[in-house]
Homo-oligomer: A and B are copies of this chain.
């Protein structure tokens, strides 16, 4: 019954990768050292570091830490208890060093969502065999402690659904388009100028980063193996200001959401732009913030939000994992021993029943809306709202932008009716279809 810490020895760590997050971790451990020692009753000591360039100008002093040219040497060093992998990249040296650390019996902390999405099952299995911890709070949603929330606090719940805003870059772009009435390209450039988007933004705006995180969340929420490959991924590149403004007129905002849902036949995972009610809590998440909603069978819906990226918030998550190691956590790395986990069973999103937003350009002639709504009725799609905008930038004298909110239907039905409408020559170009997420 005695759970007291009977280790008084300090915890020795090694940090591989001294980018933004590495700098944040070193700053946090220095600035909050007194508080940390009080709480843990031991010190956290940085024993060694490794990065590409020892000579790089840094705002902090690394001279008192042992320098390792090769992170794998640091990973294997007998001087450390914990290896912190902040190198990045889904394989290569990050993966090799992580594996080397585990195999030499070290605990590992990583912020590397790409590596976990692709090799997480393997890494966690070898960590279990070596009875070391592989902790990953920093890999999902920056400073938001969603991993521990799922793994421990809400772990006694059976979870039916988890969804959220998992990419700050996309959320900045979408909310800035809305708040400043600017197009996607302008908003992206502004995000790049502010350092919120990379020079090559495709990884973020294409939805891949959010999908890496979602694959980890699904495993934690449902007790299944990580299955990145089964995620349906759409980015935000095609979202226009016209869509954002039309959605607004219907009482919605557009957000890039990662959504995982457990059904009787399996699990759906998707990352896609969605409409969310402008009354919902998730719609109030602006800028680079992230938010996640977990729906448990006893706790109900819990929402947690905060900064989803950045040096300092992500450092908070890395050090939270150091605390768990210092406190001798015995919780399984993904909340459940891997031999108790189910294989991930994918089901297709199309069986889903949802409301949809559809926007299309219709000829500016009498009867064109009537004709489209008649086609919809033939496919048993009833309409919740319809709106013709006169200030859409694609409006001309010949065409008007018409947006529709359907009642609950399936994406298959929506696609069929839009094919029919296209065949009939009733519409110009390709209509936009966006799912409406119930919040």
Contact = CB atoms under 8 A, between A and B. Distances in A.
B331 A327 contact: yes
Contact of A299 (B148, B284, B312): B312
A226 interface: no
Nearest to A41: B337
A107 interface: yes
Interface string A1-38: 11111000000000000000000100110011001101
A156 B301 contact: no
Interface stretch (A56-64, A116-124, A303-311): A303-311
A316 B298 contact: yes
Given A32-B156, A144-B302, A154-B316, A5 B307 contact: no
B315 A298 contact: yes
A335 interface: yes
A421 interface: no
A131 B336 CA distance: 27
Contact of A28 (B39, B41, B298, B316): B298
A298 B324 contact: no
A432 to B, nearest CB: 27
Interface in A137-188: 137, 143-145, 148-149, 152-158
A266 interface: no
B304 A28 contact: no
A316 B294 CA distance: 13
A320 interface: yes
A interface, size bucket? 35 or more
A232 to B, nearest CB: 27
A111 to B, nearest CB: 14
How many copies are assembled?
2
Contacts of A307: 299-301
B300 A302 contact: no
Contacts of A133: 3
A105 interface: yes
Contacts of A154: 145, 316, 320
B1 A107 contact: yes
A242 to B, nearest CB: 24
A415 interface: no
A301 B45 CA distance: 27
Could you say which of A145, A153, A157, A325 has the most chain B C-beta atoms within 10 Å of its C-beta? A153
A223 B34 CA distance: 12
Interface string A279-308: 111001100000000001111111111110
A106 B3 CA distance: 11
A256 to B, nearest CB: 18
Contacts of A313: 298-300
**10 tightest Cβ-Cβ pairs between the two chains A and B:** A145-B153, A299-B316, A143-B299, A302-B306, A156-B319, A298-B316, A298-B312, A38-B340, A300-B307, A304-B304
Given A299-B313, A300-B306, 9 more contacts: A1-B132, A3-B325, A24-B298, A31-B297, A32-B157, A35-B156, A156-B320, A281-B305, A299-B317
